[in-house]
Amino acid sequence: MTESPSTAPAPRRRTHTSTSLRWLLPIVLVLFFLAILIWLPWQARQMESNERQEQLIADTLWVEQTIRFQMGRDEESLRSLGVEIAAGHLSAHELHERMARLLKNGHELLRVVWLKPDGQLGSSSDPLSEPVELTPASKATAEITRKTRRAMYAQPEVQAHNQTAAPSAVLMDYHVPLFRGDDYLGDLVATYQTSALLDEMVPWWFAQDNQVTLVDRDDKVLARRAAAGPGHGIYTHKRALDLPGATVTLVTDSVKSEPQLLPNLLVGSVIVLSLGLLWSLLALWGHISKRLAAEGALRQQMSFRTAMENSLVTGLRARDLEGRITYVNPAFCQIVGYPAEEIVGKLPPMPYWAPEAMSEYQARFASVLAGKVTPQFETIFQRPNGERVPVLVFEAPLVDNHGKQTGWMGSILDISDRKRIEEVNRQQQEKLQSSARMATMGEIASMLAHELNQPLAAISSYTTGALNVLDRAHEDHKPIDRGILKPALEQASAQAQRAGQIIRSVHEFVKKREPLRQAVAIPSLLDGIRALIELQARQSYVSFHTDLPADLPPVRADRVMIEQVLLNLTRNGIEAMQHVQPQRRILNVVAQYHADADQVSVAVIDQGHGIPDDVAQRLFSPFFSTKAEGMGMGLNICRTAIEFHGGALTFRANPQGGTIFTFVLPAAPAATTQET
């Protein structure tokens, strides 16, 4: 029996192939393991390096924001000081104190000065007030700020000549232009020392790990802080300071070197080999535990959110971009009086819209469709029973987790109680005004009686004379002489009209009525109370004068309330001049129109004893009075009345002695200037 020679080598080839595979697989696994051992430490080194770089970037951004925030506070303080300088509210001493306080609060500031248009020093934080010489860049910046009326920084430059700075200090000026109307008053200049910016605003822990440098647009070093030595140039970051007019960049250079590869290799190999399997099991178990915990936390958050929304007294309403209501909370349903199922999913018009405000709702709905919304407004909702509810609505965009706007979220407050309180306050204020008018009339009652005695006595004299003429004509059987009788009767009639005018003025002043805002001419208003003012003035031998321009526009105000203000202010001025020389007893009322603000100012000027500083601080406080019999409510009521009309009541010392009280009121619109 013969064997086929071709079948014998086949098993040997299969065995060789299987053996090769058995050797190849371990080799591949070893090579893969070695590759992992090398790759993991290298990757760890890269991650640590990236982490250090990211941490440096984050810390640099924080330092930059800290510096810019403090400089922003300085800018706001300087602009506020500039407004007060332009308005002329500060004396030279007060201005110096304000500047010195700025330096005390901001150690990064070297000085603050006010340079007038001619370059002369107007004021300075330095009590020695040495001359200030600006750098060419600072002078150019001053010219730009004058033309643009915008505050700007000058490009930092070395100012070695400055006595208060280091010999080679780099200084940077911040210019705030000062204008009074169109008049240029100069620049308010604050000087920063760039090294102080780093010393004062860079935290010590950041300076211990990094070299911090300020450079200009040409990468020229302006200031440097390196507490732990120079940086290695491995981890660096640049961040430009947002300074209008100047280019300054914050550069940080870490003193740390790159992570070492060998220690990471040894530690990483041991950790990976020892804990790889355990970590995978723990990671799986941790993932399952975290998922269960996240689901429980989500359920708890949903329950908490639902309970919180149900307990709110503020109504919540969500709408999509088409105006359709997508969500309401129970508080909103309680405000409008409709259940959620009758509101959610509806498009305007809504069932709670009041008919009288329908046009207002439609206009706001059109704004919503246009992608615009009023952030805050008041309106009226109507409940199913017809009850009107005043509400305050706040609207804000509703954004999903991708940053895309999906609608609008609104918060609705029922302000019925607030409206009732405002009405009660208005009624109380009206009663207080009426009481003040009655108190004023009580103070001048005796003078009023004396004033009325004169026309009444004259009437009695003229009528007695007329009766005597009639009796003589009757006894003598002669005709009545009209030439003698008529002048007497005319004088009696004139005196009767004078007494009636005084009584009508008092009646109009004290009678109670609702406040009525209308176009009121200041001359007409003064004529209505002139008899009362002159009555008090004559009793104290005071001369009363007015200076009212012929083209003075009317104001929109309540006549009686402004009459009360003028009567109180003039009475105070008359009383303030009771103990001065008779030739100085002059009371002036001066009115002026300010076209830029569309306001009318009225000043009551006396030449009395003035107001001491301790009294001035509490002058408008309720129940504070310098009079033994005073209630301390007159000036407080005056200020409240003026503020009720959207104006302001102020006072200042009269250069000629005494006090000037000034109140301003908005001018009446052109369409309403006809006084009723």
- What pTM value is reported for the model? 0.37
Crossing angle of the two packed helices 522-539 and 445-475, in degrees rounded to 10:
90
Binning pLDDT at 50, 70 and 90, where does residue 176 land?
Answer: very high
Binning pLDDT at 50, 70 and 90, where does residue 622 land?
Answer: low
Per-residue model confidence (pLDDT) at position 260: 61
Helix (H, G, I), strand (E, B) or coil at 171: strand
Crossing angle of the two packed helices 10-87 and 194-201, in degrees rounded to 10:
120
Who has greater pLDDT, 160 or 410?
A: 410
Per-residue model confidence (pLDDT) at position 633: 43
CA neighbor of 663 nearest in space, from 643, 652, 645, 648: 648
Q: Of 266-280, 297-311, 316-330, 406-420, give the lowest mean pLDDT range.
A: 266-280
Binning pLDDT at 50, 70 and 90, where does residue 370 land?
Answer: confident
Q: What is the mean pLDDT of residues 631-640?
A: 65
Q: What CA–CA distance (Å, rounded) separates 29 from 21?
A: 12
pLDDT at 240 over 80: yes
Helix (H, G, I), strand (E, B) or coil at 410: strand
Give the right CATH number for 517-676 from 3.30.465.10, 3.30.565.10, 3.30.230.70, 3.40.50.12780. Answer: 3.30.565.10
Q: What CA–CA distance (Å, rounded) separates 568 from 433?
A: 12
What CATH number belongs to 67-254?
3.30.450.350
Who has greater pLDDT, 452 or 602?
A: 602
pLDDT at 5 over 50: no
CA neighbor of 606 nearest in space, from 554, 537, 509: 537
pLDDT at 10 over 60: no
Q: What is the mean pLDDT of residues 138-147?
A: 90
Q: What CA–CA distance (Å, rounded) separates 454 from 450?
A: 7
Who has greater pLDDT, 578 or 425?
A: 578
Binning pLDDT at 50, 70 and 90, where does residue 197 land?
Answer: confident
From the CA atom positions of the chain, what is the Rg in Å?
43
In contact, 537 and 589? CB cutoff 8 Å:
no
Binning pLDDT at 50, 70 and 90, where does residue 662 land?
Answer: very high
What share of the chain has pLDDT > 70, as a percent?
Answer: 72
Q: Of 85-99, 200-214, 419-433, 529-543, give the lowest mean pLDDT range.
A: 419-433
Task: Please state, rounded to an integer, the average pLDDT across all residues of the chain.
Answer: 78
Q: What CA–CA distance (Å, rounded) separates 604 from 593?
A: 15
Q: What is the mean pLDDT of residues 481-502?
A: 67
pLDDT at 306 over 80: no
Q: What is the mean pLDDT of residues 238-252?
A: 89
Q: What CA–CA distance (Å, rounded) separates 263 from 624?
A: 80
Crossing angle of the two packed helices 482-510 and 445-475, in degrees rounded to 10:
160
Q: What CA–CA distance (Å, rounded) separates 676 from 669?
A: 15
**CATH architecture of the domain with residue range 312-414:** 2-Layer Sandwich (3.30)
Per-residue model confidence (pLDDT) at position 108: 84
The string of pLDDT tens digits covering residues 260-301 is 655 555 555 655 665 565 566 667 677 777 887 888 888 888
Per-residue model confidence (pLDDT) at position 29: 66
Q: Of 219-233, 260-274, 296-310, 332-346, give the lowest mean pLDDT range.
A: 260-274
667 alpha-carbon distance from chain centroid: 25
Q: Of 75-89, 345-359, 360-374, 395-409, give the lowest mean pLDDT range.
A: 360-374
Q: What is the mean pLDDT of residues 236-261?
A: 83
Binning pLDDT at 50, 70 and 90, where does residue 433 land?
Answer: low
pLDDT at 602 over 90: yes
Q: Of 413-427, 447-461, 534-548, 591-605, give the lowest mean pLDDT range.
A: 447-461
Per-residue model confidence (pLDDT) at position 190: 92
Who has greater pLDDT, 56 or 501?
A: 56
Per-residue model confidence (pLDDT) at position 495: 62
Binning pLDDT at 50, 70 and 90, where does residue 601 land?
Answer: very high
Per-residue model confidence (pLDDT) at position 509: 52
- Contacts for 343 with CB less than 8 Å, ≥ 6 apart: 325, 328, 333, 336, 350, 351, 352
Per-residue model confidence (pLDDT) at position 291: 82
In contact, 190 and 126? CB cutoff 8 Å:
no
What sign does the dihedral 96-98-104-109 (CA atoms) show? Answer: negative
The string of pLDDT tens digits covering residues 499-516 is 666 666 555 555 544 557
Per-residue model confidence (pLDDT) at position 504: 62
Instruction: Pinpoint the alpha helices (H) of 390-539.
Output: 416-443, 445-475, 482-510, 522-539
Domains 312-414 and 517-676 equal at CATH topology level: no
Binning pLDDT at 50, 70 and 90, where does residue 406 land?
Answer: confident
DSSP assigned state of 527: H
Q: Of 20-29, 401-410, 434-443, 628-637, give the lowest mean pLDDT range.
A: 628-637
Top mean pLDDT of 38-42, 463-467, 542-546 is at 542-546
Binning pLDDT at 50, 70 and 90, where does residue 12 land?
Answer: very low
Per-residue model confidence (pLDDT) at position 463: 76
Top mean pLDDT of 22-31, 278-287, 313-322, 628-637 is at 313-322
Per-residue model confidence (pLDDT) at position 219: 86
Q: Hey, where are the domains in the chain? A: 67-254, 312-414, 517-676
Who has greater pLDDT, 165 or 332?
A: 332
Per-residue model confidence (pLDDT) at position 37: 63
Per-residue model confidence (pLDDT) at position 546: 92
Who has greater pLDDT, 675 or 639?
A: 639
Q: Of 194-208, 292-306, 395-409, 631-645, give the lowest mean pLDDT range.
A: 631-645
The string of pLDDT tens digits covering residues 544-597 is 999 999 889 999 888 878 887 888 899 889 888 988 888 889 999 999 999 888
Per-residue model confidence (pLDDT) at position 41: 67
